[in-house]
């Protein structure tokens, strides 16, 4: 919850976030399942508030493809036939291989399919449309430069390397951080090393 901003300009901002978090956590007493998505550095705090907790692991490639098959089961025959084409199946498996989370996989698939880019050859165009749809506040070329600054999608880079990927432009650097296209590697030291947001693995060359 607190990750929405790593800093707050006033005490009022901080208190508002604290109130929102406390209100949300009262749902632990309700007869529902409460699902929270959080970074690793918060996972040790949650058991203090919620006793019955389970961390969900990532799904395997066959499991991701099965989730997609079940999602498509009720769709029109023409749509299902399009997904069953060899080029689409190859691209879908590639997305499942690249995806760090099930949500990233489904988001990528939906974007690529809707943009008629569900093929290995159409990957670059699909990635561009993904950026235009979900990360439009910063120029597409900047996101690609940022993604390629990482040796591997799950590696970390320094603030200086990230700023260099933004052509030395502090405003673009700030946009990338505020939009959470990049994330601090260490919550307690949020300005030294950065990692790429998993959704942007799609853009990494």
Domain assignment present for 53: no
Predicted model pTM: 0.74
- Asked if residue 121 and residue 71 are part of one domain, the reply reads yes
71 and 125 co-located in one domain: yes
List pLDDT tens digits, range 120-164.
Answer: 899 999 999 999 989 998 999 999 999 999 999 999 999 999 999
Higher per-residue pLDDT: 54 or 118: 118
Whether 161 maps to a domain, the answer reads: yes
Asked whether the predicted pLDDT for residue 176 surpasses 90, the reply is yes
In a domain, 170, yes or no: yes
Contact 96, 105 (CB under 8 A): yes
Of 99, 134, 169, the last residue of a domain is: 134
Task: Specify whether 124 is located in the same domain as 178.
Answer: no
In angstroms, what CA-CA distances link 58 with 16, 55, 72, 115, 184? 33, 10, 21, 27, 22
**Token pair recorded at residue 51:** 């006793």
If asked whether residues 76 and 115 sit together in one domain, one would say yes
Out of 96, 115, 134, pick the residue that ends a domain: 134
Same domain as 196, residue 144: yes
Long-range residue pairs from 110-113, CB within 8 A, at least 24 positions apart, any chain: 113/82, 113/83, 113/88
The answer as to whether 54 is a domain residue is: no
Three-state DSSP state, 187: coil
Mean pLDDT, residues 52-72? 87
Q: Please, which pLDDT band fits residue 194 given cuts at 50, 70 and 90? A: very high
Angle between helices 102-114 and 86-98 (to 10 degrees): 150
In a shared domain, residues 129 and 192:
no
- Give the DSSP letter string of 40-79: GGGTTTGGGT-SS--PPPPPPHHHHHHHHHHHHTTS-HHH
Number of domains in the chain: 3
116: containing domain: 61-134
Note whether 118 and 144 are within 8 A (CB): no
Check whether residue 162 and residue 118 sit in a common domain.
no
Q: Is there a single domain that holds both residue 158 and residue 186?
A: yes
Asked if residue 181 belongs to a domain, the reply is yes
Residues 77, 126 within the same domain:
yes
- Whether residues 175 and 195 share a domain: the answer is yes
């Amino acid at each position: 919850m607190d990750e929405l901003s790593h800093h707050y300009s006033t005490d009022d901002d901080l208190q508002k976030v604290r109130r929102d978090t406390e209100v949300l956590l009262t749902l632990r007493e309700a007869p529902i399942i409460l699902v929270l998505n959080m970074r690793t550095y918060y996972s040790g705090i949650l058991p203090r508030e919620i006793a019955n907790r389970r961390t969900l692991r990532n799904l395997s490639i066959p499991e991701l493809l099965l989730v997609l098959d079940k999602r498509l089961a009720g769709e029109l025959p023409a749509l299902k036939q399009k997904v069953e084409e060899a080029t689409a199946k190859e691209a879908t498996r590639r997305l499942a291989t690249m995806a760090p989370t099930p949500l990233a996989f489904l988001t990528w698939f939906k974007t690529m399919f809707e943009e008629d880019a569900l093929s290995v050859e159409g990957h670059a165009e699909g990635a561009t449309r993904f950026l235009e749809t979900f990360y439009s506040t910063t120029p597409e070329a900047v996101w690609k430069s940022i993604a390629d600054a990482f040796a591997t999608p799950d590696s970390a880079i320094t603030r200086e390397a990230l700023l260099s990927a933004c052509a030395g432009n502090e405003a673009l650097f700030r946009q990338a951080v505020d939009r959470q296209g990049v994330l601090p590697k260490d919550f307690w030291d949020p300005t030294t090393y950065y990692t790429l947001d998993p959704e942007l693995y799609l853009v990494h060359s």
